[in-house]
């Protein structure tokens, strides 16, 4: 049996300050990493934007590694297994797990150390705000090896890595509060959605996309991001957060989840991920990826518990979602158990002992309004009034009134939820700015034309900058929490103004990113 290696928290092994990182010998974990990265770079590729397309490139080189994720626009000499990453996709977590395993094995071979394991960058502990900044080992231009100052292969020029995430960007409460790996569109699961639409799961949207975008530069450009040595520690952390989620009470991973589509079940059972080229190809099955402590993975994480404050908020959110499902009749529990749950709630309170559902609650979301065609979002943002379709509303009202017989109403029924879906989002082309679109956008809603716009949520556009111009993303924003405020604003429940704007408009309109085009905006109401 192979040894189980420990993937360490970078903060357990990193130096405390700049001077120490430059003048003292590093921890063996980081020494091994720097050595491995250096050897890979010697075989081809650097941590910058320059691409040196070579027809004969070593499979173990830095460039081959990075191109396997995605290749820069206009890349020549493509290889069959390049550009194979899965984004905004339910395979996001499992594909990247295999990718990291292949990377880790490559480093082990190059540095001839079978015990070496990739460290992870944990940035999501509110009690350690300093962890939002990169460790010094990734920021000093030179380091000390055997008493001599040498170039640091983990260093990236600040122009290629201009920023760092905020506490909000790395907030994992929303992701960890979701119990199910996949949900049905327009609702998202922890890891993605089931069905035909492509949509990021909660974890991929945040912290994954948000951290990429906030570091900016190479990391903010999906086609170059794997050239930055911090990429691998960011992804090791996301892989760890999947393990953190899996061990939380009530989490249902995809294979244990009831009600998933036949297509997903067979995709999940049959998927294989291949890396490398020529005579050195590594193949991983999804099955191989479901237990990190067995072959071929053989690793564990130093910490897979949530910080205490986050853990209590997450468990409260999960309990509340469960009570809501029971009281609204959305539960998939067998009727007698649902009845016990419902009738004992008042007597026993919140700690009712009822088995956890392994199937997501049944929810009915009606599309009630869509934009007629494509809209563009420039530097100043754009707003669209959406009148709800009368026939859709008639059926929504009938169903909603039947479900809540006690609150019959004349006008539109009060929705139990609102989701705004932005479908077919692309970056506009023809740019003078370094990027085609802003990295962060805010979605706001208003009761009617002229009403105040209330912010419903944000999305990061990681994946749209640096890729093909026909690359598309879909985003959903849950505006349910704003329903009371919309009524305060005099909402008639028959229309909604949807606004999309960059979080930070450019200071200089001349060099502003051109922005986004949105194929369609759809408003969903929950009965
Ligand atoms: Cu990534």
3-state secondary structure 133-182: CCCHHHCCCEEEECCEEEECCCCCCHHHCCCCCCCCCCCCHHHHHCCECE
Q: How far is the CA of 8 from the centre of ligand 1 (A)?
A: 19
Are 131 and 143 in contact by the 8 Å Cβ rule? The answer is: no
488 has pLDDT over 90: yes
How sure is the predictor about 355, in pLDDT bands with cuts at 50, 70 and 90?
Answer: low
Q: How far is the CA of 220 from the centre of ligand 1 (A)?
A: 9
474 has pLDDT over 70: yes
Are 371 and 521 in contact by the 8 Å Cβ rule? The answer is: yes
**CA 215 – CA 176 distance, rounded (Å):** 23
Q: What is the pLDDT of residue 348?
A: 46
Q: How far is the CA of 96 from the centre of ligand 1 (A)?
A: 8
- Give the CA angle between residues 228, 517, 419 to the nearest 5°: 90
Q: What is the pLDDT of residue 409?
A: 56
**CA 375 – CA 208 distance, rounded (Å):** 27
353 has pLDDT over 60: no
Q: How far is the CA of 101 from the centre of ligand 1 (A)?
A: 15
Rg from Cα positions in the chain: 24
Q: How far is the CA of 325 from the centre of ligand 1 (A)?
A: 33
pLDDT tens digits, one per residue of 514-526: 899 999 999 999 9
Q: How far is the CA of 288 from the centre of ligand 1 (A)?
A: 21
Mean per-residue pLDDT, 49-78:
83
Which of 467 and 499 is assigned the larger pLDDT? 499
Q: Is 295 exposed, middle or buried (0-12, 13-18, 19+ CB in 10 A)?
A: exposed
Q: How far is the CA of 484 from the centre of ligand 1 (A)?
A: 36
Mean per-residue pLDDT, 185-211:
95
Q: How far is the CA of 343 from the centre of ligand 1 (A)?
A: 46
| Cis peptide, bond prior to residue 207, ω within 30 of zero | yes
Burial of 61-93, coded b for 16+ CB within 10 Å and e otherwise, reads bbbbbbbbbbbbeeeeeebebbbebbbbbbbbb
Nearest to 456 by CA among 488, 485, 493, 487: 485
Q: How far is the CA of 403 from the centre of ligand 1 (A)?
A: 42
426 has pLDDT over 80: yes
Q: How far is the CA of 79 from the centre of ligand 1 (A)?
A: 21
Q: How far is the CA of 87 from the centre of ligand 1 (A)?
A: 8
Percentage above 90 pLDDT, the chain: 69
Which of 468 and 451 is assigned the larger pLDDT? 451
Q: What is the pLDDT of residue 339?
A: 66
405 has pLDDT over 70: no
How sure is the predictor about 404, in pLDDT bands with cuts at 50, 70 and 90?
Answer: low
40 has pLDDT over 90: yes
52 has pLDDT over 90: no
Q: How far is the CA of 459 from the centre of ligand 1 (A)?
A: 15
* Residues β-bridged to residue 526: 365, 417
Please tell me whether residue 90 adopts helix, strand or coil conformation: coil
Q: How far is the CA of 477 from the centre of ligand 1 (A)?
A: 21
Q: How far is the CA of 255 from the centre of ligand 1 (A)?
A: 24
Q: How far is the CA of 68 from the centre of ligand 1 (A)?
A: 13
As a dihedral over the C-alpha atoms of residue 313, residue 310, residue 210, residue 85, rounded to 10 degrees, the angle is: -100
Element (H, E) at 392: helix 390-403
Q: What is the pLDDT of residue 335?
A: 66
How sure is the predictor about 305, in pLDDT bands with cuts at 50, 70 and 90?
Answer: very high
Q: What is the pLDDT of residue 345?
A: 52
Q: How far is the CA of 90 from the centre of ligand 1 (A)?
A: 14
Q: How far is the CA of 292 from the centre of ligand 1 (A)?
A: 20
Are 57 and 63 in contact by the 8 Å Cβ rule? The answer is: yes
494 has pLDDT over 50: yes
Q: What is the pLDDT of residue 327?
A: 80
Q: How far is the CA of 115 from the centre of ligand 1 (A)?
A: 25
Q: What is the pLDDT of residue 234?
A: 98
Q: How far is the CA of 297 from the centre of ligand 1 (A)?
A: 20
Q: How far is the CA of 221 from the centre of ligand 1 (A)?
A: 10
Percentage above 70 pLDDT, the chain: 92
Tell me the pLDDT of the chain averaged across its residues: 90
**CA 51 – CA 62 distance, rounded (Å):** 11
Q: In the structure encoding, which two tokens stand for residue 298, read together?
A: 């053989």
Q: How far is the CA of 207 from the centre of ligand 1 (A)?
A: 10
Q: How far is the CA of 231 from the centre of ligand 1 (A)?
A: 7
433 has pLDDT over 70: no
Mean per-residue pLDDT, 97-126:
97
Least confident of 70-74, 111-115, 367-371: 70-74
Q: How far is the CA of 60 from the centre of ligand 1 (A)?
A: 20
41 has pLDDT over 70: yes
Q: How far is the CA of 209 from the centre of ligand 1 (A)?
A: 7
Q: How far is the CA of 240 from the centre of ligand 1 (A)?
A: 14
**DSSP readout, 497-525?**
EEEEEESS--S-GGG----EEEEEEEEEE
**CA 243 – CA 452 distance, rounded (Å):** 41
30 has pLDDT over 80: yes
Q: How far is the CA of 44 from the centre of ligand 1 (A)?
A: 22
How sure is the predictor about 87, in pLDDT bands with cuts at 50, 70 and 90?
Answer: confident
Which of 75 and 157 is assigned the larger pLDDT? 157
């Amino acid at each position: 049996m192979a040894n189980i290696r420990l993937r360490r928290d970078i903060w357990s092994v990193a130096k405390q300050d700049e001077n120490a990182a430059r003048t003292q010998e590093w921890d063996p974990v980081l020494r091994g990493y720097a050595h491995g990265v250096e050897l890979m770079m010697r075989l081809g590729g650097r941590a910058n934007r320059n691409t040196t397309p070579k027809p004969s490139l070593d499979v173990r080189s830095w460039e081959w590694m990075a191109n396997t994720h995605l290749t820069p626009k206009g890349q020549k000499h493509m290889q069959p297994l390049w550009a194979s990453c899965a984004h905004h996709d339910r395979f996001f977590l499992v594909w990247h797990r295999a990718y990291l395993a292949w990377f880790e094995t490559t480093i082990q071979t190059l540095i001839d150390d079978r015990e070496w394991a990739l460290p992870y960058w944990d940035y999501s502990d509110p009690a350690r705000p300093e962890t939002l900044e990169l460790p010094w080992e990734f920021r000093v231009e030179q380091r000390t090896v055997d008493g001599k100052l040498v170039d640091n292969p983990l260093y990236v020029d600040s122009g290629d890595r201009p920023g760092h995430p905020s506490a909000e960007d790395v907030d994992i409460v929303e992701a960890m509060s979701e119990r199910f790996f996949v949900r049905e569109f327009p609702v998202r699961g922890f890891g993605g959605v089931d069905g035909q639409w492509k949509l990021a799961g909660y974890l991929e949207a945040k912290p994954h996309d948000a951290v990429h975008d906030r570091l900016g530069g190479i990391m903010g450009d999906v086609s170059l991001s794997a050239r930055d040595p911090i990429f691998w520690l960011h992804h090791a952390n996301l892989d760890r957060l999947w393990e953190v989620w899996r061990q939380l009470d009530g989490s249902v991973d995809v294979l244990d989840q009831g009600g998933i589509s036949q297509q997903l079940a067979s995709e999940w059972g049959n998927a294989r991920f291949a890396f490398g080229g020529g005579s050195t190809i590594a193949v991983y099955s999804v099955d191989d990826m479901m237990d990190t402590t067995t072959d071929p993975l053989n690793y564990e994480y130093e910490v897979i518990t949530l910080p205490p404050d986050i853990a209590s908020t997450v468990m409260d959110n999960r309990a509340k979602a469960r009570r809501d499902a029971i009281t609204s009749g959305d539960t998939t529990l067998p009727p007698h158990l649902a009845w016990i749950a419902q009738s004992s709630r008042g007597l026993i309170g919140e700690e009712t002992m009822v088995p956890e559902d392994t199937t997501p609650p049944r929810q009915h979301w009606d599309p009630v309004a869509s934009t007629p065609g494509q809209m563009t979002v420039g530097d100043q943002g754009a707003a669209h009034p959406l009148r709800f379709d009368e026939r859709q509303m008639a059926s929504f009202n009938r169903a909603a009134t039947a479900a809540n017989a006690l609150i019959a109403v004349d006008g539109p029924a009060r929705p139990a939820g609102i989701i705004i879906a932005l479908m077919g989002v692309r970056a506009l082309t023809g740019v003078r700015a370094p990027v085609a679109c802003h990295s962060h956008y805010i979605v706001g809603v208003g009761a009617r034309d002229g009403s105040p716009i209330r912010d419903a949520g944000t999305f990061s556009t990681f994946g749209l900058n640096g890729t093909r111009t026909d690359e598309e993303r879909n985003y959903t924003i849950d505006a349910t929490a704003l329903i009371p405020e919309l009524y305060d604003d005099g909402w008639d429940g028959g229309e909604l103004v949807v606004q999309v704007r960059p979080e930070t408009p450019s200071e200089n309109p001349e060099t502003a990113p051109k922005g986004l085009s949105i194929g369609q905006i759809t408003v969903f109401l929950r009965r």
